[in-house]
């Protein structure tokens, strides 16, 4: 089983990202779970979402405390929370940032990749400059670095779940995939 934890802020599309990734895994024949965890429900408040994917039915029903991989849609959360807590050694941390992976000083026990998902979202007019919706660009990056799900399955999921700005979201996912 693979377990993934997503961290971001309200309004960035974290919950939708988890649902899209779960659907993409499902399209590739996996059993999936996707569920959010909210603090205060307001824009910009920290939000987490969780995904499990496996070849067998998933009976586990709890939060993910020891994820295989992390997606961080707001790099400021790296200093505000202990985001890497419980992350398995060798796990990927995909960070929304224009900075280089080594600039974050994250332990060499983990693999780190960055993608400027905010800039990608802005270019494709997904959200505003101060609150870009980074989810599809982050999913493209996740597909690229982990090789757990194909970009084609991510695009299929976007086509099925996103009705507004569908082509822009697909373009953002492709760009996130190509820029990681």
* pLDDT one-digit tens code per residue, 30-41: 999 999 876 555
The tokens for 8 are: 């971001």
For 89, which DSSP code?
T
Residue range 2-178 in CATH 3.40.920.10: yes
pLDDT exceeds cutoff 70 at 58: yes
Report the distance separating Cα 142 and Cα 14, nearest Å: 13
pLDDT at 123: 96
CA–CA dist 101, 161 (Å, integer):
31
- Give percent of the chain with pLDDT exceeding 90: 73
pLDDT in tens, 130-179: 889 999 999 999 999 999 999 999 999 999 999 999 999 999 999 999 98
Digit-coded pLDDT (tens) for 76-108: 888 777 778 899 999 999 999 999 999 998 889
Q: Where are the domains of the chain?
A: 2-178
pLDDT of res. 59:
93
């Amino acid at each position: 089983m693979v377990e993934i934890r997503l961290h971001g802020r309200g309004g960035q599309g974290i919950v939708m990202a988890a649902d899209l990734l779960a659907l993409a895994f499902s399209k590739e024949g996996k059993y999936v779970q996707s569920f959010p965890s909210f603090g205060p429900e307001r824009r910009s408040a920290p939000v987490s979402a969780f995904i499990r994917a496996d070849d067998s039915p998933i009976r586990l029903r709890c939060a993910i405390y020891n994820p295989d991989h992390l997606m961080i849609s707001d790099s400021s959360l790296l200093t505000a929370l202990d985001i890497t807590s419980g992350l398995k050694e060798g796990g990927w941390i995909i960070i929304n940032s224009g900075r280089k992976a080594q600039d974050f000083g994250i332990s060499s026990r983990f693999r780190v990749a960055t993608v400027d998902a905010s800039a990608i979202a802005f270019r494709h007019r997904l959200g505003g400059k101060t609150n870009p919706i980074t989810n599809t660009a982050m999913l493209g990056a996740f597909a690229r670095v982990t090789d757990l799900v194909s970009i084609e399955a991510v695009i299929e999921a976007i086509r099925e779940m996103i009705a507004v700005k569908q082509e822009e979201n697909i373009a953002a996912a492709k760009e996130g995939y190509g820029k990681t």
